[in-house]
């Protein structure tokens, strides 16, 4: 337990270890620690940003949904209106068409009736003429009495 | 413990370093003369008379072994270090380094300095490892060394000494303290300049009219720093080692006393874990603080 040259040896050994530590140990490990610190900070910042963006996206989505709902209800009401219109229109059309058919039928009936009447008139004239001829004998000049008969027929 | 030696001899044996130097012979009681040969001291008296140019081989061997072990560990981590997910080993190293870094940042305010933090790391881990040797039962390694030296070199094992705790050798602790002192002086000169440093030593605390008193006071203060630093560590570890040795002397006495000694040794070892860590920490913090003071300009 006496002071001897060991003290010098210890100073040298200590200096060598410190120098080694200072050169080859401390800087790489410290650098890695700093890098990791930075990485973690970046990660946290990115997460924060992501959360913010998500919030924004959610807000936007809500807005889009709201708009879509509004649009949908608008479309539905329009469709209803249009449906009603179509129904009204077809009712109208049906009525008009019905009237038209009815009118044409009536006209046809009238036409038919007139024709039948005319035919009947002419037949009646012939029958009357034939009757009169039979009654008056064969001398009656058919030609001389045609005018008379026509006049008769037109009066019927 | 060898039964043919007395307790006092046993304790003395444990407190003697393995010293290599100029061989001495005792010509008459208390008077030693060099033989001109070099070799290991075979007795406490011979070691004491070898003079300054002798070396404690056990202290040097153990401290360099532990220091190399420490540097190998940290270097192997530093080589594979990654900023991604750390391995368990890297995690362990990082934990220590982070702790040192925090402590240094807390007590060193001298701006950017690439030396202080690695210095603190080296001190803390190295001193801790050297102190840790104290927890190995006191006879294990010395006995291995003594018996193998006896078997290999044919020396009487009782004249082979081996202390495995380098920090119980004042050479080791004072050597470290002197290195720290040299750094203190270097930074004092570098930061404050020769004038500033001399001014600091002579102009305070009493002003320029009391220069001699100031010089004496400040020089004592300055010199006391490395001395207290080295001797504090040495004293604590030496005392702790002494208690272990004293407990060990009880083992041969009787079964009851031996079992009691076993319990005592466990208790003291558990308590000593605290001292080991604390002393390493104190050495580190004081070094940082002293270097911080060397960086401060006084006005």
pLDDT score for B1:
41
The CA distance from B36 to B194, in Å, is 45
Per the CB < 8 A criterion, the answer to whether B140 and B162 are in contact is no
Residues in CB range of B100: below 8 A, 6 or more apart: B117, B120, B121, B124, B284
Per the CB < 8 A criterion, the answer to whether B96 and B284 are in contact is no
* CB proximity B45 to A under 8 Å: no
In the residue annotation, B8 being an active-site residue is answered as: no
* Three-state secondary structure call for residue B136: coil
Per the CB < 8 A criterion, the answer to whether B137 and B241 are in contact is no
Residues in CB range of A25: below 8 A, 6 or more apart: B71, B74, B75, B78, B118, B121
Give Cα separations from A152 to A122, A142, A147 (angstroms): 10, 15, 9
The pTM of the full predicted model, rounded to 2 decimals, is: 0.76
The CA distance from B240 to B248, in Å, is 12
Chain A CB contacts of B60 under 8 Å are: 6, 9-10, 13
Model confidence pLDDT, tens digit, residues A61-119: 999 999 999 999 999 999 999 999 999 999 999 999 999 999 999 999 999 999 999 88
pLDDT score for A56:
96
The CA distance from B89 to B95, in Å, is 10
The CA distance from B297 to B284, in Å, is 22
Mean pLDDT over the full length of chain A: 89
pLDDT score for A142:
65
Model confidence pLDDT, tens digit, residues B186-221: 999 988 888 888 888 888 778 778 888 888 998 999
pLDDT score for B298:
62
User: For residue A23, is pLDDT > 90?
Assistant: yes
* CB proximity A18 to B under 8 Å: yes
* CB proximity A42 to B under 8 Å: no
* CB proximity A75 to B under 8 Å: no
Chain B CB contacts of A42 under 8 Å are: none
In this complex, do B171 and A3 lie within 8 Å of one another by their Cβ atoms?
Answer: yes
In the residue annotation, B75 being an active-site residue is answered as: no
Give ipTM to 2 decimals.
0.89
In this complex, do A39 and B94 lie within 8 Å of one another by their Cβ atoms?
Answer: no
pLDDT score for B4:
62
In the residue annotation, B228 being an active-site residue is answered as: yes
The CA distance from B239 to B241, in Å, is 5
Question: Rounded mean pLDDT of A145-154?
Answer: 76
State CA A104 to chain mean position distance.
40
**Nearest by CB: B74 against A21, A35, A36:** A21
């Amino acid at each position: 337990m006496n002071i001897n040259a060991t003290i010098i040896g210890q100073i040298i050994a200590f200096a060598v270890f410190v120098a080694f530590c200072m050169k080859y140990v401390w800087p790489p490990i410290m650098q890695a620690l700093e890098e990791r610190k930075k990485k973690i900070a970046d990660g946290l910042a990115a997460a924060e940003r992501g959360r913010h963006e998500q919030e924004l996206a959610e807000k936007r989505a809500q807005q889009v949904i709201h708009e879509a709902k509004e649009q949908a209800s608008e479309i539905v009401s329009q469709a209803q209106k249009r449906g009603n219109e179509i129904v009204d229109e077809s009712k109208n059309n049906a009525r008009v068409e019905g009237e038209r058919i009815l009118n044409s039928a009536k006209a046809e009936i009238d036409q038919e009736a007139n024709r039948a009447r005319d035919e009947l008139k002419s037949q009646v004239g012939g029958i009357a003429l034939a009757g009169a001829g039979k009654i008056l004998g064969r001398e009656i000049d058919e030609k001389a009495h045609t005018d008379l008969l026509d006049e008769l027929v037109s009066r019927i | 413990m060898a039964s043919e030696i007395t307790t006092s001899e046993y304790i003395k044996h444990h407190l003697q370093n393995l010293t290599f130097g100029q061989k001495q012979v005792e010509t008459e009681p208390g008077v030693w003369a060099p033989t001109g040969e070099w070799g290991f001291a075979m007795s406490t008296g011979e070691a004491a008379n070898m003079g300054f140019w002798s070396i404690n081989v056990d202290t040097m061997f153990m401290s360099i072994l532990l220091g190399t072990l420490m540097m190998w560990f940290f270097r192997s981590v530093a080589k594979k270090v990654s900023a991604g997910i750390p391995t368990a080993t890297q995690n362990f190293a990082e934990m220590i380094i982070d702790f040192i870094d925090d402590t240094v940042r807390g007590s060193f305010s001298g701006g950017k300095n690439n030396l202080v933090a690695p210095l603190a790391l080296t001190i803390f881990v190295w001193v801790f490892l050297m102190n840790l040797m104290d927890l190995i039962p006191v006879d294990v390694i010395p006995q291995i060394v003594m018996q193998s030296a006896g078997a290999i070199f044919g020396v009487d094992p009782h004249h082979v000494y081996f202390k495995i705790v380098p920090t119980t050798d004042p050479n080791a602790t004072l050597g470290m303290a002197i290195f720290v002192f040299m750094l203190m002086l270097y930074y004092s000169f570098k930061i404050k300049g020769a004038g500033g440093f001399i001014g600091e030593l002579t102009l305070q605390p009493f002003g320029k009219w009391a220069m001699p008193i100031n010089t004496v006071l400040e020089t004592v203060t300055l010199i006391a720093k490395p001395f207290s630093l080295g001797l504090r560590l040495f004293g604590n570890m030496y005392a702790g080692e002494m208690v272990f040795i004293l407990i060990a002397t009880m083992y041969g006495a009787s079964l009851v006393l031996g079992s009691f000694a076993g319990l005592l040794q466990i208790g003291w070892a558990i308590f000593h874990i605290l001292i080991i860590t604390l002393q390493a920490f104190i050495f580190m913090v004081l070094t940082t603080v002293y270097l911080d003071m060397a960086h401060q300009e006084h006005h």
